[in-house]
């Protein structure tokens, strides 16, 4: 009987430990990741928000920073398709949109504004180019192929922001 009771107690404790993200301590603080804020979409442990207001690339980044985020960086075809799907869901079209890529500092040195590694690329044919024309900011959904284009940074476009969900400890 004692063994059965001990076994039941252990199973209950382990079950509750596995669901720690929904447990609060006596002060009301949550443990684990908090879901994405309202008007943000979760994908792959990141929160994304489409900003419909047309802004230059720099103003779009400043706007994202005001939301504790950055212009989005894209690291896989799946992530790109998810972002494109989110834009399509919100706008009902493949809207050209700023993301966080730039090579304004040095030609052929594309960087993500969030300092993540710039490995995945979905450039349009003939891109990237235009450094001499200051086409050094990255937009997506360009042309018939809905690919990446190096655009003039002062162009006014909507943007995609990204941030990590908040974690309380």
Beta strands in the chain (DSSP E): 32-33, 41-43, 46-55, 70-71, 97-102, 111-112, 137-142, 147-151, 157-163, 167-168
Q: Which stretches of the chain drop beneath a pLDDT of 50? A: 1-30, 169
User: Any residues with CB less than 8 A from the CB of 156 and at least 6 apart, and which?
Assistant: 54, 55, 56
Separation of alpha carbons 134 and 16, rounded Å: 56
Is CATH 3.10.100.10 correct for 36-168?
yes
Separation of alpha carbons 128 and 93, rounded Å: 24
Tell me the CB-side half-sphere exposure of residue 115, using CA atoms within 13 A: 0
Tell me the three state secondary structure of residue 97: strand
In this predicted structure, what is the pLDDT of residue 105?
Answer: 87
Tell me the three state secondary structure of residue 17: helix
In this predicted structure, what is the pLDDT of residue 35?
Answer: 85
Angle formed at CA 14 by CA 11 and CA 16, multiple of 5 degrees: 110
- Judge if pTM exceeds 0.85: no
């Amino acid at each position: 009987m004692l063994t059965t009771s001990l076994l039941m107690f252990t199973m209950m404790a382990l079950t509750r430990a596995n669901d720690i993200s929904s447990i609060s301590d006596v002060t009301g603080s949550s443990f684990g990741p908090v879901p994405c804020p309202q008007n943000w979409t979760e994908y792959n442990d990141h929160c994304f928000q489409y900003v419909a207001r047309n802004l230059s690339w720099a103003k779009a980044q400043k706007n994202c920073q005001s939301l504790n985020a950055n212009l989005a960086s894209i690291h896989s075809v799946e992530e790109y398709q998810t972002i494109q799907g989110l834009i399509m869901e919100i706008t009902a079209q493949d809207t050209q949109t700023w993301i966080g890529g730039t090579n304004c500092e040095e030609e052929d040195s594309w960087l993500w504004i969030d300092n993540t590694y710039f490995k995945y690329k979905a450039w349009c044919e003939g891109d990237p180019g235009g450094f001499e024309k200051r086409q050094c900011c990255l937009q997506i959904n360009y042309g018939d192929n809905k690919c990446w284009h190096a655009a003039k940074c002062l162009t006014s476009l909507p943007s995609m922001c990204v941030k990590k969900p908040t974690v309380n400890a």
